[in-house]
Amino acid sequence: MLFEMKMKKLMSTKGVLAFILTVLLFTVSCAQKDAWERIESSGKIVVLTRNNAHCYYIYREHPMGFEYDLAKAFSKYLNVELEVRTPTWEGLIEELDEEKGDFIAASMSITSQRKKMVYFSAPYLAIQQKVILRKYNNSVNKIEDLEGRTVHVRRGTSYEERLNELNREGMHIKIKTHDDIPTEELIEMVQDRKIEITVADSNIALLNQRYYPDIKISFALEEQQSLAWGVKRGERRLLKKINKFFKKIKKDGTFQKIYHKYYAYYGIFDPFDLKKYQRRLKTRLPKYKGIIQKAANKYAFDWRLIASVIYQESHFDSEALSHTGVKGIMQLTRDTAMEMGISDRRDPEQSIMGGVKYLRMLFDRFYNINGPDRLFIALASYNIGEGHVRDAQMLAKSQGENPNSWTVLEHTLPLLRDPKYYKKTRYGYCRGTEPVRYVKRIRTYFDILKRKAIM
């Protein structure tokens, strides 16, 4: 009897031990799951990025940003949900190591130091570190001119690495580092004369030049670098997925479309035009803002878009008269004004309400087009006339291109200046470059107004 009791106790102990061992093995196996297994099992991928104008931000309750759009396209490619986390700059790699995120998409350049901490994807964008000064600062023209000067950069960036490298090579640059201050803020500080010099990657500098027209993008601080996404060291399967994704979107045009959305129009204005625009946002826009918002709400447009159209048309001048005979703040023709029920084109409220109504009518006519392309094509029609836009669409179709893509029409509209093409169209010759410039300008004005809403 005593022997049987001892055996039962032993078996009971073995059962407990077996159970504990099973739990431990299960825990270890879960802990050993790689990122791709976690993504597959959860149906979700977590991106680590930065909350700024070129990575990720919220505008009118919608997420936007170059890196966000790429990450969203990646999640769709994988058929999983996307979750966004925005740690500090220094926290990006730390959170990656702690598996709080699956990959970094934060306009991070590949450096030898970072390669020791993360696996980088194939590069997706070439950039170069540029020195940022205020316009008319002619005392700093080359790297040697940084001797003895103070350069402000965010701590932990490749900019700081490069400046330290120059000091090790024998220079004496005073490096003032800032904790987690976005590069955009340092650029703004240069504009406002709070600091003299900062450094920014060329893509960030070009994007911000439209917001800060008094800055100067000066000389390069080093050779060309590349931006890439990062994954935790050892996560080879996820890295492989990322590289296949970039290869695909560069081949099918998705990457170019996203790039075009954020960076295509940075160079179309001179700084004087931008300064005038920003000045008139303060001096002229307030007078008409109420009417603009009323019209925008009635016809379901963003009021900032309508303000951008009005500035492009008349610079917020209700007495504007063009050489072609169009009048008023929305520059309406006599026929369009009559069609929209406007008796006085120079009356700001009539003109704005009628102009926005007309834009809505054009927008509705292109009902078969989805996404932003529909708006851009409607804007081009407002500028040059719907007939010419239809001609450009037919021309695109005849060339085997997508007639509902604004990117395609940017190339076919200018062809309508050429007899080879316009003689075959219904509406004939038009200055097809004009609507392309028109839409570009409105998009940039609109972008500046949106930026003011998030700053």
pLDDT of residue 128: 94
pLDDT digits (tens, 9 = 90+) for 48-98: 998 887 888 875 457 888 999 999 999 999 999 999 999 988 899 999 999
Task: Pull the structure tokens for residue 6.
Answer: 């001892």
Task: Pull the structure tokens for residue 2.
Answer: 């005593």
Q: What does the chain come to in residues?
A: 455
Q: Assess whether the region 35-123+227-263 and the region 129-223 belong to the same CATH fold.
A: yes
pLDDT of residue 291: 95
SS3 label, residue 317: coil
End-to-end CA gap in the chain: 82
Closest CA to 54 of 73, 33, 70, 35: 70
Q: What is the mean pLDDT of residues 180-204?
A: 91
Q: Which CATH architecture has domain 129-223?
A: 3-Layer(aba) Sandwich (3.40)
Q: What are phi and psi of 218, to 5 degrees?
A: -95, -140
Q: ∠ at Cα 305 (60, 277), nearest 5°? A: 115
155 CB-near residues (< 8 Å, 6+ apart): 89, 90, 177, 178, 179, 180
Q: Please identify which residue in the block is written with the tokens 């500046």.
A: 448
What is the third-level CATH fold of 35-123+227-263? D-Maltodextrin-Binding Protein; domain 2 (3.40.190)
Q: What is the mean pLDDT of residues 206-221?
A: 87
Q: What is the mean pLDDT of residues 269-298?
A: 87
Residue 28 banded pLDDT, cuts 50, 70, 90: very low
- 99: annotated active-site residue: no
Which candidate in 313, 339, 349, 386 is catalytic?
Answer: 313
Q: Which CATH architecture has domain 272-454?
A: Orthogonal Bundle (1.10)
Measure the CA–CA gap between 242 and 35, rounded to whole angstroms: 12
pLDDT of residue 372: 92
Q: How does the average pLDDT of the chain come out, rounded? A: 87
pLDDT greater than 80 at residue 23:
no
pLDDT of residue 20: 54
pLDDT of residue 8: 55
Q: Running DSSP on this structure, what letter comes out for residue 124?
A: -
267 CB-near residues (< 8 Å, 6+ apart): 206
Measure the CA–CA gap between 63 and 53, rounded to whole angstroms: 11
Closest CA to 261 of 372, 375, 389: 372
pLDDT greater than 90 at residue 453:
no
pLDDT greater than 60 at residue 454:
no
Task: Pull the structure tokens for residue 414.
Answer: 């200018």
Measure the CA–CA gap between 230 and 122, rounded to whole angstroms: 10
pLDDT of residue 3: 46
pLDDT of residue 418: 82
Quick one: 232 exposed, middle or buried, by C-beta within 10 A (0-12, 13-18, 19+)? buried
Sign of CA dihedral 133, 155, 185, 266: positive
Listed by start position, the domains of the chain span 35-123+227-263, 129-223, 272-454
Is there a contact between 130 and 82 (Cβ–Cβ < 8 Å)?
no
Is there a contact between 106 and 88 (Cβ–Cβ < 8 Å)?
no
Measure the CA–CA gap between 89 and 156, rounded to whole angstroms: 7
Is there a contact between 409 and 396 (Cβ–Cβ < 8 Å)?
yes
